[in-house]
Amino acid sequence: MTLDALLRLRPYTLAGSACAGLAAANIMRPSSGFAFLMASALVGVATALDGAARLAAIALALATAACGWGGARLDALDRSVLVSRVPHVDRTLAEVTGPARYSRFALRLPVRVRSFGALRLSEPALLELPLGRAPPQGAVIATVAAATLPREPQDGFDERGWLRRQGIHVVLRGRSWDQIGQRGGLGAVADGLRRWLARGVAPGLHGERAALLQGIVLGADEGLSEELRNRFRSSGLYHLLAVSGQNVAIIAMGMLLLARLVAVPRWLAELAVLAAIASYVLAVGLQPSVVRAGIAGALASLAWLGSRPRDRWYFLLVGGGALLAWNPYTVLDPGFQLSFVAVASIFVLVPRIDRRLEGYPVPRWLASMLAVSAACGAVTAPILWLDFGRVPVFSILANVFAEPVMAPLLGLGLTSALVYPLVPSLAGVLAWVNGWFAGYLAACARLVGGLPHAQVSSQRAVLLLADLGILAWALTRIRPPRGQRALELGLVGVAAGVAWQAVG
């Protein structure tokens, strides 16, 4: 291997090694002292090597150190003081750290417990309250609550394991509550930014359209009905309710465009992009998809400021490493898995599908949407099946319908939030127009999600869909002579018909 090739591989190798070491901490947890000692020894060995051997030794040292760090973080996440208070009932003081979610019998919200009776602590927990008015995010509340353990696995859902991966080991069940203050620090900044965004995204709108706009811009589906959430899931559009790279890209492009209009120097515009991305990530919350997108956007701006090349693969690995360094359990989170494999499929598969579609009478914009939808649908289907036991069948169709309105919907929503404090009437007009886009998106979810067999859950159906995918892949490898494109389409159509009849 040449020196130039090694230098090109070095950033990916080192970033990938760190990610692998952090993820491996879920399997083995060496003590941090032993791991760092081994890493130091490997670095010493690397100094005596050169070329590919040196790179391999450094990568192994980095993976070992990362595994030690990951083990220490997992130990910290697994520690709980509140568990010792189960099943006591006592006066509780807690900060509300996220929006409330309503179920049929109660509302549940994430909190950070400050005190439980005479016990002073700072530990995350899940608070259950009776149905009714929910405490706002950022509020410091007082209640009398019972400390209980999360529910055992039932109906295919392991609540205890899901909460444990977030560092939550206790569910507090309270009754009435009183707000006695507001949290401070960076959390207060995030709460203020979220309120500002939520207030300006859909002024003048009510009901489903307002809830959908806030859900797409803020990555929160709490305001949507259960029926509409199910339609988004079955249609394959649920990913639109999670903040992703498209949101961050629109923010970055909007800031650069605004800077150009007011003749601001490019370096100052890039600094403004960094501030806007950081503010948006704080407002939305530390979801895996938005953290990944935020880190990628920030690194792109820093690359320009530092006159360095932009490398999307490196940005993806750094984003994954940052998430895993904070919480190595994140690698087990379906949102993390879906976000990263979808982005990787866009990098790897979309250019190949694009080239394959060049011979068909398909408009360029439609071919691009088909390529992205097909690539993401193919790689996310196994994860959806393993984690949720269901796979949407018509996700490509649904995404082709929905994609044309996503950019204007996000752009208008963010613009409305920006101008609302200055010109509320203009924000109201933008929100009114945006409401029609939101209505169209909800109609797409209901139309496609309501089709027969929109989701498949039986093993036979999933196997048939896999056969169809294999057939489609095989056809992409064929280089037929001119005039046989129709034969390819016919074979795919026949296979789809067989799968449809079998599923039915």
Q: Please report the pLDDT score of residue 482 as a whole number.
A: 47
| Placement of tokens 């002073």 in the chain | 120
| Placement of tokens 């109201």 in the chain | 428
Q: Tell me which of 498 and 23 has the higher pLDDT.
A: 23
120: left (phi > 0), else alpha (psi -120 to 50), else beta? beta
Q: Judge whether 294 and 285 are in contact, CB under 8 Å.
A: no
DSSP-derived pairing of the beta strands 89-96 and 139-148: antiparallel
What is the location of CATH 2.40.50 in the chain? 82-183
Does the pLDDT value for residue 3 go beyond 60?
no
With pLDDT > 70 as the criterion, what percentage of the chain qualifies?
88
What mean pLDDT is reported for the chain? 82
SS3 19: helix
Handedness of CA 215, 220, 221, 223 (dihedral sign): negative
Phi, psi angle pair for 188, to nearest 5°: -65, -40
Q: Please report the pLDDT score of residue 132 as a whole number.
A: 84
424-449 helix and 226-235 helix, angle to the nearest 10 degrees:
60
Phi, psi angle pair for 320, to nearest 5°: -65, -40
For 410-451, the pLDDT digits (tens) are 888 888 988 888 888 999 999 999 999 999 999 999 998 888
Tell me the CATH number for domain 82-183. 2.40.50
Does the pLDDT value for residue 226 go beyond 60?
yes
CA distance 265 to 193: 26
pLDDT, mean of residues 100-109 = 84
DSSP tally for the chain: helices H, then strands E: 17, 8
Q: What is the CB-side half-sphere exposure of residue 275 using CA atoms within 13 A?
A: 8
